[in-house]
Structure 1
Amino acid sequence: MLIAYLSYSGNTEETAELIQKKLIAKGASVEMHRIGIDPPINPSHYDVMFMGTFTWDNGSTPDEVKDFVLEIGYKPDNMAVFGTGDTQFPFFCQAVDRLTRFYESKWQGLKIEQSPRGSQEIKIDRWLEGVLQYVRRIA
């Protein structure tokens, strides 16, 4: 599995690391990819790809994430999208919604309020369970 993410504040990175920890605990092989920093990936090497982002400006997807989408070059059918944001802004995690629709993801996007700690961790557990059910079916 691949977890690709973009993080400025550290919240999306923290969420990505928590997802990685939980997947490894379930026996998955996981690679991390820092969008805009690490070299390009080959999406065909992964059973599931997780993409993490924040929402920028007035509900926009950050340019680095858009570049990553173009770098992939096609719409893999195994993309699960997560993101972090702040509910005080009117466009809370709208980039997650946009990417989930773009990839026609099998899974609803995971939206985390700022940090993934506390009750937010339960949301991650439930969301991952849904993703892993799909992986078990194709295995």
Structure 2
Amino acid sequence: MTKAIILYHSFSGNTKETAELIRENLLDSYGIESDLFDMFHIINPPDLEEYDAIFFGTFTWDQGATPDEVKEFVADLGYKPEPVFVFGTGDTQFGGDDLFCLAAEKLARFYNSPLPPLKIEQSPRGRQEAAVSEWVTKVVKEMIN
């Protein structure tokens, strides 16, 4: 049975909401169960070798920066698991397109993600729900190949 883990860090709740929507899509559309963890509250990182797919979610902070909590979690892992799929939330109002979800782009590059990161403007509600579903479909296809 395929199993995924979704690790995220959220400040305003938007990244958490996106993580929950990804989890819902994985289960409802593909029958893939997933564990959901906030990186900020994990004391000992889980064994990522138990999962067929690893999701990292982050918001972008302060002129395109990755939050320190996400950097610390990645450092605590001490290795690069595979495959990693990245999603991020951001706000084009503060920094425009150049900085929008830049933390997610950095994580995707760091982990050599097989897909570009999912980028959500603030909350995944409304028309962005379809973007989440489409991205999850691409992830599942990548997992199967």
TM-score range, shorter chain: over 0.9
Q: Distance in 2 between matches of 1:132 and 1:41?
A: 22
Of 40, 47, 50, 1:42 maps to 47
Show the 5 A alignment for 1:1-80.
Answer: 1-25=4-28, 26-39=30-43, 40-80=45-85
Equivalent residue of 2:73, what SS?
helix
Query: Which runs of no fewer than 5 residues in structure 2 stay unpaired?
Result: none
Of 106, 120, 123, 2:131 maps to 123
Equivalent residue of 1:124, what SS?
helix
The percentage of counterpart residues that share the same residue type is 50
Amino acid at match of 1:24: L
Q: Distance in 1 between matches of 2:48 and 2:77?
A: 7
The equivalent residue for 1:92 is 100
Shift of 1:38: 2.5
Q: Distance in 1 between matches of 2:143 and 2:106?
A: 23
**Moved beyond 2 Å, runs of 4+:** none
Q: Distance in 2 between matches of 1:33 and 1:100?
A: 19
Q: Distance in 1 between matches of 2:76 and 2:51?
A: 16
The equivalent residue for 1:82 is 87
CA root-mean-square deviation: 0.9
Amino acid at match of 2:129: E
Q: Distance in 2 between matches of 1:72 and 1:128?
A: 24
Equivalent residue of 1:30, what SS?
strand
